[in-house]
A and B are shown apart, each in its own frame.
Chain A
Amino acid sequence: MEFFLQLVLTGIMVGSIYALVALGWALIYKCSGVLNLAMGELTLIGAYVSLTFYEWGLPFPAALAATLAIGAVLGMLTERLFLRRLIGEPVLTVIMVTVGLSFFFRGIIELIWGTDLRVFHPPVFPQEPIRLGTLVINQVYLWSFLASLAMLGALVAFFRYTRWGLAMQAMADDEMAAMALGISPKFVYAAAWALAFMAAGVGGSLLGNINGVNIAVGYLGLLVLPAVVLGGLNSIPGAIVGGLIIGVLQNLAGGYLDRFTPGGVKDIFPLAVMTLVLLVKPYGLFGWVRIERV
């Protein structure tokens, strides 16, 4: 039981980071209909940028802020240069452009930063774990959890209470009506990509604090796909819940199933869950059920 609770707790902490990245993904999909397969690389960019700033001697919060700023600029640039021309193109075209982006980004990242594992040094968060009764939590996980909660809260508040956030919601809901009300789609798409880059950037730098930074962080970023499928593609709460569930399931699989296999269950279990969800309930927990018309 204690083992179980421990796994669930760690799962929730990691899951909150997935939830953050998944939120960025759902944002792009909701606002512009782009199914983004480059999310792993966006996470990777965030991890490396914040690591670089940290190595230059900036304190971690400042490095995070700088990552946010650079993420916003890169997001808007990506949208302007590549995605804006693709509005209304077939799904395959748009997906493959994001695949092209992911190759492009990964090549550039490896050119700049190499492929060796790099860690935040000195460690950002204290090393000694916190004890809650019999449960043990690494401080890295706890702070990552709090940071992603703060970021999630900020994003949700942004959508609910600011003019820009409402404009983005309107655009996601009904593009025509939003345009008739004077909302600029260009602005909304650019903002969605900027926010996605920022969310992925924060997620990446937190993940980098847990395991160190190398290409594997990009693979963790890919786990947003099971998360958003589970939650329902076009649902913001779904992305959050999906991210948390995937984090927990992944840890449970690592804890209970790993001993029956030579290893590696932890990495593919979310994808296996996703396949099952697709077979049983393809629109996820909160997604809209689309009715096919002839």
Chain B
Amino acid sequence: MRMRLPAGVFYQTYKQDQALWPTTFVKLRMWGLLVFLFLIFPQMASPYWLSLANLVGYTILSAMGVQLLIGYTGQVTLGHAAFIATGAYTAAVLVLQYHVPYPLAFLAAMIVAGLWSVLFGLPSARVKGFYLIMTTVAAQFITVDFIITQYVSRIGERGHSFSLPPGTLSIGPWVIQSDRDIYYLMIVLVTLSVLAMTNLARTRVGRAWMAIRDHDIAAEALGIPIVRYKLLAFFMAGVFGGMAGAFWIANVFAVSPEHFTWSWSLWLVGVLLIGGLGSNYGTIFGSLFMTLVMEALRNVVTWMAPFFPSLETSFLFIKEAAFGLAIILFLLYEPNGLAYRWWQIKNYIHLWPFSYE
């Protein structure tokens, strides 16, 4: 799905051809977006919108690793919450028990989650498809429901050790306490990881991953060491997951295994299917769409609650059912996701008035 360029754009050097933002218009647009996200939005938005934005950002960060595995490498994972949990708990334990500075704990969380992910990626050397999915499901239950629930969350005194009141975490002199601080942390992380993902996909590693996704045997015949690249994909996905987890502890008052259930793993895959596989647009659109639609649904339910009092308590169930239905309908009627629709619209505009193909 290479983007068509608007009429009248010609490359004269390879440098131009390989530029991240190929035209002046794109450059302006991206800088405008960055200015909006970094300067305008956090100043204008109310705390409600900021916390919503933080949730979108957390979903993007969480889904990034899943996108890498499913969308780029073709290794389906249904247990990514395990690695997010690993990151969150590593960072929380380091900060709370050992008083490690947050940035260092953050890095450690990324590395530990990456290594833990490689451990469960090892079967990918031998099995694929459904069998690999089962391994990742096992990773989810072994990590979160057993190791973290039974052992890690009992470090220190239960109930006290993992509470993180605002102001616990600080980066140098900057103490993270308000929603706006969390927003700045989130937007920096999201920007960096989107940039990292884009560049990974454009370079040797990403191309190797995509070759494995498209046909693993052909990829091996072309000289790509598939086991090494698959494990690298698991490592990087774990690193992204650890990043999401280490960010999450800044966003909550207490870490609990209930934040990282199997439902959350499945939710992330659903987000990607709705957004679209194999592009950053998919990750971002899916996260935006699902978070905002669910929030709109919550508002409708709250609005209707005076008329139907039982609705308020059953919002979670309505949300689950709606999410399930959304996945099914998207897979049946829009299997390429929102990103594909976006790509079509953009091409239509670029090629206008000759937008037939």
In the complex, chain B residues whose CB is within 8 Å of the CB of A265: 146
Q: Is A268 an interface residue (CB 8 A)?
A: yes
Judging by beta carbons under 8 Å apart, are A275 and B135 in contact? yes
Q: Nearest-CB distance from B204 to chain A (Å)?
A: 24
**8 Å CB interface, A30-65 against B:** 35, 37
Judging by beta carbons under 8 Å apart, are B137 and A103 in contact? no
Bound together, the chains give a CA A271 to CA B82 distance in angstroms of: 14
Q: Interface code B136-148, partner A: CB below 8 Å = 1, 0 otherwise? A: 0111011001100
In the complex, chain A residues whose CB is within 8 Å of the CB of B326: 100
Judging by beta carbons under 8 Å apart, are B134 and A229 in contact? yes
Bound together, the chains give a CA A233 to CA B266 distance in angstroms of: 22
Q: A111-B318, A261-B150 are in contact. Are A95 and B130 (CB under 8 A)?
A: yes
Q: Is B324 an interface residue (CB 8 A)?
A: yes
Residue of A whose beta carbon sits closest to that of B310: A111
**8 Å CB interface, A258-289 against B:** 261-265, 267-268, 271-272, 274-275, 278-279, 282
Q: Nearest-CB distance from B233 to chain A (Å)?
A: 16
Interface centre among B130, B319, B325 (most CB of A within 10 A): B130
Interface centre among B145, B217, B322, B328 (most CB of A within 10 A): B328
From B131, B145, B217, B328, A292 is in contact (CB under 8 Å) with B217
Q: Interface code B301-337, partner A: CB below 8 Å = 1, 0 otherwise? A: 0000000000000101111111111111001100100
Q: Nearest-CB distance from B262 to chain A (Å)?
A: 9
From A86, A99, A278, B127 is in contact (CB under 8 Å) with A278
Judging by beta carbons under 8 Å apart, are B314 and A99 in contact? no
Q: A96-B331, A99-B327, A271-B141 are in contact. Are A110 and B320 (CB under 8 A)?
A: yes
Residue of A whose beta carbon sits closest to that of B327: A100
Q: Nearest-CB distance from B72 to chain A (Å)?
A: 14
Q: A107-B317, A271-B138, A271-B141 are in contact. Are A100 and B270 (CB under 8 A)?
A: yes
Q: Is A164 an interface residue (CB 8 A)?
A: no
Judging by beta carbons under 8 Å apart, are A82 and B149 in contact? no
Judging by beta carbons under 8 Å apart, are A103 and B76 in contact? no
Judging by beta carbons under 8 Å apart, are B269 and A99 in contact? yes
Q: Is B133 an interface residue (CB 8 A)?
A: yes
Judging by beta carbons under 8 Å apart, are B145 and A268 in contact? yes
Q: Is B252 an interface residue (CB 8 A)?
A: no
Interface size class, chain A? 35 or more
In the complex, chain B residues whose CB is within 8 Å of the CB of A229: 131, 134
In the complex, chain B residues whose CB is within 8 Å of the CB of A92: 70, 76
Bound together, the chains give a CA A233 to CA B335 distance in angstroms of: 27
Interface of B, secondary structure class, is helix
Interface of A, secondary structure class, is helix
Judging by beta carbons under 8 Å apart, are A278 and B134 in contact? yes
Judging by beta carbons under 8 Å apart, are B145 and A103 in contact? no
Q: Is A101 an interface residue (CB 8 A)?
A: yes
In the complex, chain A residues whose CB is within 8 Å of the CB of B323: 100, 103, 107
Q: Is A294 an interface residue (CB 8 A)?
A: yes
Q: Is A184 an interface residue (CB 8 A)?
A: no
Q: Nearest-CB distance from A3 to chain B (Å)?
A: 23
In the complex, chain B residues whose CB is within 8 Å of the CB of A35: 130, 133
Judging by beta carbons under 8 Å apart, are A107 and B320 in contact? yes
Bound together, the chains give a CA A82 to CA B324 distance in angstroms of: 12
Interface centre among B149, B218, B321 (most CB of A within 10 A): B321
In the complex, chain B residues whose CB is within 8 Å of the CB of A274: 134, 138
In the complex, chain A residues whose CB is within 8 Å of the CB of B138: 271-272, 274-275
Judging by beta carbons under 8 Å apart, are B324 and A102 in contact? yes
Residue of B whose beta carbon sits closest to that of A233: B130
In the complex, chain B residues whose CB is within 8 Å of the CB of A111: 314, 317-318, 321
Bound together, the chains give a CA A91 to CA B322 distance in angstroms of: 23
Q: A100-B325, A111-B321, A274-B134 are in contact. Are A91 and B129 (CB under 8 A)?
A: yes
From A82, A264, A275, B328 is in contact (CB under 8 Å) with A82
Residue of A whose beta carbon sits closest to that of B263: A103
Q: Is A200 an interface residue (CB 8 A)?
A: no
From A110, A272, A294, B218 is in contact (CB under 8 Å) with A294
Q: A271-B138, A272-B138, A278-B135 are in contact. Are A96 and B322 (CB under 8 A)?
A: no
Residue of B whose beta carbon sits closest to that of A92: B76
Residue of A whose beta carbon sits closest to that of B151: A262
Bound together, the chains give a CA A131 to CA B134 distance in angstroms of: 39
Residue of B whose beta carbon sits closest to that of A99: B266
Q: Is B273 an interface residue (CB 8 A)?
A: yes
Judging by beta carbons under 8 Å apart, are A263 and B150 in contact? yes
In the complex, chain B residues whose CB is within 8 Å of the CB of A268: 141-142, 145-146
**8 Å CB interface, A68-118 against B:** 82, 85-86, 89, 91-93, 95-97, 99-108, 110-111
Interface centre among B70, B126, B146, B273 (most CB of A within 10 A): B146
Residue of A whose beta carbon sits closest to that of B314: A111
Q: Is A22 an interface residue (CB 8 A)?
A: no
Judging by beta carbons under 8 Å apart, are B142 and A100 in contact? no
Q: A93-B335, A275-B123, A278-B127 are in contact. Are A225 and B134 (CB under 8 A)?
A: yes
Interface centre among B123, B266, B320, B325 (most CB of A within 10 A): B320
In the complex, chain B residues whose CB is within 8 Å of the CB of A93: 331, 335
**8 Å CB interface, A165-202 against B:** none
In the complex, chain A residues whose CB is within 8 Å of the CB of B29: none
Judging by beta carbons under 8 Å apart, are B127 and A282 in contact? yes
From A105, A110, A271, A292, B142 is in contact (CB under 8 Å) with A271
**5 interchain residue pairs of minimum CB distance:** A107-B321, A103-B324, A104-B324, A100-B327, A107-B320
Query: Interface residues, chain B, CB within 8 Å of chain A?
Result: 70, 76, 78, 122-123, 126-127, 129-131, 133-135, 137-139, 141-142, 145-146, 149-151, 154, 217-218, 263, 266, 269-270, 273, 314, 316-328, 331-332, 335
Q: A85-B332, A278-B131 are in contact. List 9 more A-B contacts (CB 8 A).
A: A91-B130, A97-B327, A99-B78, A99-B266, A100-B331, A107-B318, A110-B314, A262-B151, A268-B146
What would 5 A/B residue contacts be, using CB atoms closer than 8 Å?
A: A102-B266, A111-B314, A229-B131, A229-B134, A278-B134
